[in-house]
Amino acid sequence: MKIEEVKSTTRTQRVATHSHIKGLGLNDDFTAKEISHGLCGQEKAREAAGIVVDLIKSKKMAGKALLLAGAPGTGKTAIALAVAQEIGSQVPFCPMVGSEVYSTEVKKTEILMENFRRAIGIRIKETKEVWEGEVTEITPEEKEDPHDGYGKVVEGVILSLKTTKGSKQLRLDPSVYENMQKEKITVGDVIYIEATSGAVKRVGRSDAYAAEYDLEAEEYVPIPKGDVHKKKEVVQDVTLHDLDVANAKPQGGQDFFSLMNQVNRQKKTEITEKLRLEINKVVNKYIDHGIAELVPGVLFIDEVHMLDIECFTYLNRALESNLAPIVIFATNRGKCTIRGTEMKSPHGVPVDLLDRLLIIKTLPYSINEIVQILSIRCSTENIEIDEDALAHLAAIGTKTSLRYAVQLISPSNILAETDGREKINKEDIDEVNSLFFDAKSSAKILQEQADKFIS
């Protein structure tokens, strides 16, 4: 028998490029802290973004757009993600890249509209009659299957629920038991069951079981207060795109030809403008009656210069819509040709759209700021580095680029571990730097050895 010790039950998570970004790092008066929430430098840009966040929260920014403009590696995407962190998880944040609009199946404007509607949230509040509590017993009631002499079918389920005020035993329909199985509900879970529809929702594991040894990461919640049977306000967050998709699904029959039509149907189809207008009418009606609340989110379009004149013309109109999110563009281009035309314009964006935008400029980092950013990245990746090595890496970053310096950290750590050391030293940085080329070095070699390459 093979027995192994479980060293850790913590799930390992991939460290992404912007894993360290937790917010804008501002004081209460919107002034930027030197180093905070994973951001360093770009004080003016962060302070401007902080004002935008305040406008978003006070719902005074809807239908407006922002442009983050600056050289590559100056933190445009980091600031956009920091804005998303600041406005909270309740506000929809939809990131996309300009080149995503070019698809063989769907029109460019359709993809833009789809992402616009992904970034607009609807918060629906309903008062429902529910049974809520911690599950203390689940006993299925079975009977002989009339169609099969050997099998049994569930004809009901006995469920016991406990709250701080008392407990109740319920006899439920077999369909509710099926819903419970789909949610993987076990004894000790906190759940609620809607009295009208029979829908079952697992809230989490009761905190009475918080000390148990469990390999899975679990969310523990307190035992509900009050009676088991109560009226509860249920808040549901959906986006306009969710409503579009839910209403656009084909309602075919059960015959073979209907099934074949659904199989042969294109995987991605366009949602009609008529359907969207109908959904908008229903949403506006709910908002007027106080049942629903509109939550304008953020649509972040990186590499906006990749959009063409058709998309820009569409954006001009879409931004003026009543149901429009806050749009944040980002670009690293100077004056360049607008795609689809022969005209040149700042950032590759038509002047009429630029006039509608608030523009935030990001500036190149100083050597001290590069040192701080590299230090933050090392701590995020749990890598130890000598001060001399950090300063040397920052010096390489000023000559090449910040992105190149960040990418040298992990290979240098592998070299240090190979030599049996826990810390990266200056020699590791030099060795890795000699193995890899940055963009400028590679371009220089191409220029010097142009005759050896195919032009």
**Range with the poorest average pLDDT among 25-34, 183-192, 257-266:** 257-266
How far apart CA 438 and CA 110 sit, in angstroms, is 38
Residue 372 tokens read as: 């701080």
At 87 the pLDDT is: 81
pLDDT band at 392 (very low <50, low <70, confident <90, very high): very high
**Overall average pLDDT of the 397-409 stretch:** 90
To the question of domain 125-238 being in CATH 2.40.50.360, the answer is yes
Average pLDDT of the chain, as a whole number: 82
**Range with the poorest average pLDDT among 45-54, 156-165, 265-274, 361-370:** 265-274
At 8 the pLDDT is: 45
Name the residue among 429, 359, 417, 346 with its Cα closest to residue 387: 429
Q: Is the pLDDT of residue 346 over 60?
A: yes
Angle, CA of 205, 128 and 235, to the nearest 5°: 65
Classify residue 164 as left (phi > 0), alpha (psi -120 to 50) or beta: alpha
At 3 the pLDDT is: 59
pLDDT band at 345 (very low <50, low <70, confident <90, very high): very high
Residue 129 tokens read as: 């009659």
pLDDT band at 156 (very low <50, low <70, confident <90, very high): confident
Residue pair 214/196 in contact by the 8 Å Cβ criterion: no
pLDDT band at 263 (very low <50, low <70, confident <90, very high): very low
- Fold category of 35-119+297-362 in CATH: Rossmann fold (3.40.50)
Residue 298 tokens read as: 């953020």
Residue pair 119/87 in contact by the 8 Å Cβ criterion: no
For residue 427, the Cα-to-chain-centroid distance in whole angstroms is 39
Predicted confidence (pLDDT) per residue in 7-37, tens digit = 444 444 456 677 778 888 888 888 888 888 8
Across 145-211, the runs of DSSP E, i.e. the strands, are 152-162, 167-172, 189-194, 200-206
At 247 the pLDDT is: 81
DSSP string across 377-389? HHHHTT-EE-HHH
How far apart CA 115 and CA 98 sit, in angstroms, is 12
Q: What dotted CATH number matches 367-448?
A: 1.10.8.60
How far apart CA 455 and CA 453 sit, in angstroms, is 6
How far apart CA 189 and CA 271 sit, in angstroms, is 39
Classify residue 267 as left (phi > 0), alpha (psi -120 to 50) or beta: alpha
- DSSP character for 23? -
pLDDT band at 168 (very low <50, low <70, confident <90, very high): confident
For residue 168, the Cα-to-chain-centroid distance in whole angstroms is 40
Name the residue among 253, 252, 249, 251 with its Cα closest to residue 271: 249
Helix axis angle for 367-380 and 387-399, nearest 10°, is 120
Residue pair 150/250 in contact by the 8 Å Cβ criterion: no
Q: Is the pLDDT of residue 213 over 60?
A: no
Choice between 346 and 298, residue whose per-residue pLDDT is larger: 346
Across 145-186, the runs of DSSP E, i.e. the strands, are 152-162, 167-172
The amino acid at residue 214 is: D
User: What ranges do the domains of the chain cover?
Assistant: 35-119+297-362, 125-238, 367-448
- Share in percent of the chain as helix, strand, coil (round to 5): 40, 25, 35
**Overall average pLDDT of the 199-214 stretch:** 75
Residue with tokens 């911690």, as numbered in its chain: 134
Name the residue among 310, 301, 334 with its Cα closest to residue 100: 301
At 15 the pLDDT is: 62
What's the number of CA atoms in the CB half-sphere (13 Å) around residue 281? 6
Predicted confidence (pLDDT) per residue in 38-89, tens digit = 888 889 999 999 988 888 778 777 667 899 999 888 888 888 888 888 887 7
Choice between 257 and 133, residue whose per-residue pLDDT is larger: 133
- Work out the percent of the chain whose per-residue pLDDT is above 90: 18
Residue 350 tokens read as: 């038509």
Alpha-helical segments (H) within 232-338: 240-248, 256-264, 273-288, 309-318
pLDDT band at 103 (very low <50, low <70, confident <90, very high): confident
Name the residue among 345, 406, 352 with its Cα closest to residue 380: 406
**Overall average pLDDT of the 181-186 stretch:** 84
Name the residue among 147, 94, 151, 135 with its Cα closest to residue 117: 94
Give whole-number Cα distances, 398 to 73, 137, 276, 289, in Å.
11, 65, 50, 58
